Chains A and B, each alone.
Chain A
Amino acid sequence: MTRWLVLLLVLGSPCVALCTPYVPASDDVVLERLPERTDPSLKRLRTARLQLAAEPRNLALATSLARRAIEASRENGDPRYLGQAQAALAPWWKDTNPPPGARVLRATIRQSQHDFDGALADLDALLRERPTDGQALLTRATIYTVRGRYQEALRDCRALIGRTTPLVVGTCMAGPSSLGGDADGAYRSLSALLARPGEDPGVREWALTLAGEIAARAGDAAEAEGHFRAALALDGRDAYLKGAYADFLLDAGRPLEALTLVKDDTRNDALLLRVALAERGLADRAGDFAAHRGDLAARFDAARQRGDSLHRREEARFRLALLNDAPGALALAKLNWQVQREPADLRVLVDAANAAGDKATLAAVADWERSVRAEGARASAGRT
């Protein structure tokens, strides 16, 4: 324990490798490689920013740029693009009643910052004006699901019926429905929808990832793996999918495969965590494991310095699994549980509470799960 603390102190500063500034040896030394210059979509984003700079109050340009920047942040797992998206919306960012196009994007950025209350306020206002706005309904359903408010999420998904494809509606519903007590029914409906051909590959990949997660939670490993692999075939870069599949492989005791999946994604904190978790189980990776654990500690520390609380789930898992710091993990997991209630949040909370012997937290979680199931049962009884 003390050894890890010393390690954290040594590595836990924002500069890890070379803690003293230096003058490079020659003019030819390459200091930084810019993603914009090698990725065409990021290059287009840069061009769009120059256009917007010429007319910053052009709403169409601004929303198009903000949407692309949000996509870029998801594709690359790089939050700097979220800042660019917010900058594009600057003329409307503090408006009490911004134009709907800007408002739904503001809600999305707020959600990404874990400002779920701010995002919900935007979406509520937007949906009062335009009750059938598909993007707003889908975004609000996602936030309700993240917060564990499954019946409200399902209500928004149902409002999408007839306004988008059946697979979008079905995937929207499968998440909250499976978590709200009807995992079997949700999985059957989603599988039936996936059996039909067609649909946008992006939507199929989203649906397949969710199907894999539901099957994995139900303990059906073969089904889960089939879905994850099919999803990867559609988009091998999706960081969320890679994280979910890596967790599945780690749970199945297949760390080498998990490592192969995520080893090139060390820029992304959540995926670097999976890299380190995989390396921990591999005797010949001890050196990489120690280095990656140090990297993670430095990143969590850098995030804390700027006042971020976006990494609590990952840091709780890091502390529990890689530092054996159950009390520290539990404290973070409890704070995180106040903000997000996805299965991964529940899992790290329960694991940390078990490790720390916190019976009160375990009882509170059990109460919550009971009330969610009861609410689900009441809702389905009310509908039939």
Chain B
Amino acid sequence: MTRRVAPVRIVAIAALLLATILPAQAHKPSDAYLTLARDGTALHGQWDVALRDLDNVLGLDGNGDGEITWGELRARQTDIDAYALAHLRVTSAGQPCPLKVDAHLVDAHTDGTYAVMKLSGTCEAAGPTLAVDYTLFADVDPQHRGLLNLVEGGASRSHVFGTDAPHQVVGGGSGSALGQFLTYVHEGIWHIWLGFDHILFLISLLLPAVLVRRSGTWQAATSFRGSFVEVAKVVTAFTAAHSITLTLAALGLVALPSRWVESAIALSVVLAALNNLVPVVANGRWIAAFAFGLLHGFGFAGALQDLGLPTQGLALSLAGFNIGVELGQLAIVAAFLPLAFRLRATSAYRRVILMGGSAVIAAVAAVWLAERAFDVPLFAALAVAR
């Protein structure tokens, strides 16, 4: 208790009516206690919120006698649930985990009685972590704190939410380090396989790798070794570049607006495909792969942000995701290169696959570019790609 400052005070007239309840009730700042237990996509939990705080925003004392009874509380339970759940958002892998209240109870805490909500829900997608947005009472009492106890894999960890930290990524750090690492490797592989813009960019750069540009025309490369070296240069440059920016962005050292990043990625696909139709850069494609790879790294970081990086073992998870992206990429190359090398001498490869394929890729990417730059879904079907 610090010495008071203002010498002039309101002299209160009436004494407080103190309830004769044991234990002695405390005056304390507003806290709510939230427990969430996670098992796969299933969530179970409990949320204790002080009746005084709920009364502050919803007015629970129906008959205005200064007392909240169980009957008055029961009458308002639907409102309380709606209010509370509107201020708690849980997502997994970027998809929501809608919660509902299964049962209503009460409990005594040091500073009075709390409403107890038993919660359950199912996440629409499994992910290594949970992202939690907690804004309960943020507008009426910025000193309110939400104390989350997250239980998973037999371990529990606590997190404090408040106006200075309303959004946190929780969980994922439990279990073995290897298990956590493999989870992120897996996520990285799937991200590149499902991220069509990255695949199309890579393929645009790889399509001409089994050909050689001589006197204005495409000719079949003579050796597999030469093609392999060309592919290795492109893939290595792309990998090095996006690893750099993925790491910088994931660690929060560099931040770019996602609309700008996504638009620029679409533009990179357009340019890479057009370069196959009207070659401007013929033999230095690895430089383009590096330059544009820096952009794609920011895109990967955006996806990783949706997944969330656990605070425990952050470096390991980041490395796992990056390695997963590389493995996914290598799998694409391993499938592409032998096939393309076999077909390289055919005119179908040059006309249909290289020219036709690049034209289609450029067209699709141009639609993405327009959608992302102007934020309008032109093709719902194509928009699903991201």
Contact = CB atoms under 8 A, between A and B. Distances in A.
- State whether these chains interact: yes
Interface of A: 14-24, 26-41, 68, 70-71, 74-80, 82-84, 86-87, 90, 93, 108, 111-114, 135, 138-139, 142, 145-146, 168, 171, 175, 200-203, 206, 235, 237, 239-240, 243, 264, 266-270, 272, 291-292, 294-295, 298-299, 302-303, 305-308, 314, 340, 342
Nearest to B104: A23
Contacts of B52: 32, 34, 80
B107 A33 contact: no
B19 interface: yes
B253 interface: no
Contacts of B2: 111-112, 114, 146, 340, 342
A37 B7 contact: no
B113 A31 contact: yes
B26 A267 contact: yes
Contacts of B33: 14
Nearest to B9: A202
Given A14-B109, A23-B106, A237-B12, 11 more contacts: A14-B33, A17-B22, A31-B68, A32-B51, A34-B67, A80-B53, A83-B142, A86-B141, A113-B143, A139-B5, A268-B1
A75 B13 CA distance: 11
B13 A41 contact: yes
17 contacts: A14-B33, A16-B23, A16-B110, A79-B27, A80-B30, A80-B141, A87-B139, A90-B139, A114-B2, A138-B5, A146-B2, A240-B1, A267-B16, A270-B1, A298-B110, A305-B158, A314-B1
Most chain B CB atoms below 10 A, which of A33, A305, A306: A33
B26 A269 contact: yes
Interface of B: 1-19, 22-31, 33, 46, 48, 51-53, 55, 61, 64-71, 73-74, 104-113, 116, 139-145, 147, 158, 160
B29 A79 contact: yes
Contact of A295 (B24, B51, B53): B24
Contacts of A33: 17, 19, 66-68
A307 B165 CA distance: 12
Given A168-B7, A239-B1, A298 B18 contact: no
A26 B279 CA distance: 82
A243 B68 contact: no
Given A79-B143, A306-B145, A17 B108 contact: yes
B8 to A, nearest CB: 5
B67 A41 contact: no
Given A77-B27, A142-B3, A39 B12 contact: yes
A36 B67 CA distance: 10
B7 A83 contact: no
A240 B61 contact: no
B61 A37 contact: yes
Given A71-B9, A138-B6, A29 B17 contact: no
The 7 closest A-B pairs by CB, nearest first: A37-B66, A27-B71, A266-B24, A83-B141, A83-B143, A21-B105, A24-B70
